[in-house]
A and B are shown apart, each in its own frame.
Chain A
Amino acid sequence: MNITAAQYIENTDYDPPVTRIIQATIDGVEMFVPMTAGNRHYDEIMRQVEAGDLTIADADD
Chain B
Amino acid sequence: MSKAAELAALIGSQSALSHRNILINGAMQVAQRATSVSDLGGSNDVFAALDRIKYFVGNTAGRFTAEQVAVTDLPGFANAMKLSCTTADTSIAADEFMGFKHLIEGQDVQHLKKGTSEAKSTTLSFYVKGNAAAEYTVELRDIDNDRINTQTFNVTTSWTRVEMTFAPDTTGTYDDDNALSIQMAWWLHAGSTYNGGTFASNSWASRTQNNRVKSSNSSFFDSTSRTLFITGIQYELGEQATPFEHRSFGDELLRCQRYFQSVDNARMTLNVVRQSDNLKRCTLVYPGMRSNPTLVFVESDGDGATISVQETATHGSELRMTGGGDSNVPHVERYTVEAEL
Option from B178, B293, B340 in Cβ contact (under 8 Å) with A34: B293
Complex partner residue of B340 from A23, A30, A31, A40, CB under 8 angstroms: A40
> Are B293 and A9 closer than 8 Å at their CB atoms?
no
Identify the closest chain A residue to B317 (Cβ): A32
Q: Tell whether, in the assembled complex, residue A34 and residue B179 are in contact, meaning their CB atoms are under 8 Å apart.
A: no
Report the stretch among B84-92, B141-149, B307-315 that lies at the interface.
B307-315
Pick 19 A–B contacts, CB within 8 A, sort by A.
Answer: A9-B308, A13-B310, A20-B310, A31-B294, A32-B296, A32-B317, A33-B294, A34-B312, A34-B313, A36-B291, A38-B291, A39-B293, A39-B294, A39-B339, A40-B340, A40-B341, A41-B294, A41-B338, A42-B294
Cross-chain contact B296 with A30 (CB below 8 angstroms): yes
Known: A11-B310, A20-B310. A36 touches B296 (CB 8 A): no
B61 contacts A by Cβ under 8 Å = no
| B291 touches which of A9, A11, A29, A39 (Cβ 8 Å) | A39
A32 to B335, CA, bound (A): 11
State the CA gap A41–B45 with chains docked (Å): 12
A4 to chain B, nearest CB (A): 15
- A45 to B: closest C-beta gap in Å: 10
A41 vs B337: C-alpha distance when bound (angstroms): 12
Give per-residue flags for B207-246: 1 if the beta carbon is below 8 A from chain A beta carbons, else 0: 0000000000000000000000000000000000000000
Question: Any chain A CB within 8 A of the CB of B249?
Answer: no
Most buried by B among A20, A30, A42: A20
> Quick check: is A46 within 8 A (CB to CB) of the other chain?
no
Interface of B is mostly: strand
Within 8 A of B (CB), among A14-44: 20-21, 23, 29-34, 36, 38-42
Contact residue among B178, B179, B309, B340 (Cβ-Cβ distance under 8 Å from A32): B309
With CB as the reference atom, state the residue of chain B lying closest to A11.
B310
Task: Report the separation of the CA atoms of residues A9 and B308 in the bound assembly, to the nearest whole angstrom.
Answer: 8
The residue on B at minimum CB distance from A9 is B308
In the complex where A9-B309, A32-B309 touch, is A38 in contact with B294 (Cβ < 8 A)?
Answer: no
Nearest A residue to B308 via CB reads: A9
Q: A13 — which chain B residues lie within 8 A by C-beta?
A: 310
Known A31-B294, A34-B294, A42-B294; 16 more pairs at CB < 8 Å? A9-B309, A20-B310, A21-B309, A21-B311, A30-B297, A31-B295, A32-B294, A32-B296, A32-B312, A32-B317, A34-B311, A34-B313, A36-B292, A38-B178, A39-B291, A39-B292
- Which B-chain residue is minimally distant from A19 (CB atoms)? B311
Please name the residue on chain A nearest to B319 by beta carbon: A32
- In the complex, the chain A residue whose C-beta lies closest to that of B341 is A40
Interface-central residue, A32, A38, A42, by most chain B CB under 10 Å? A32
**Known contacts A31-B296, A38-B178; is A21 also within 8 Å of B341 by CB?**
no
Q: How far is the CA of A38 from the CA of B297 in the complex (A)?
A: 21
- Whole-angstrom distance between the alpha carbons of A9 and B167 in the complex? 49
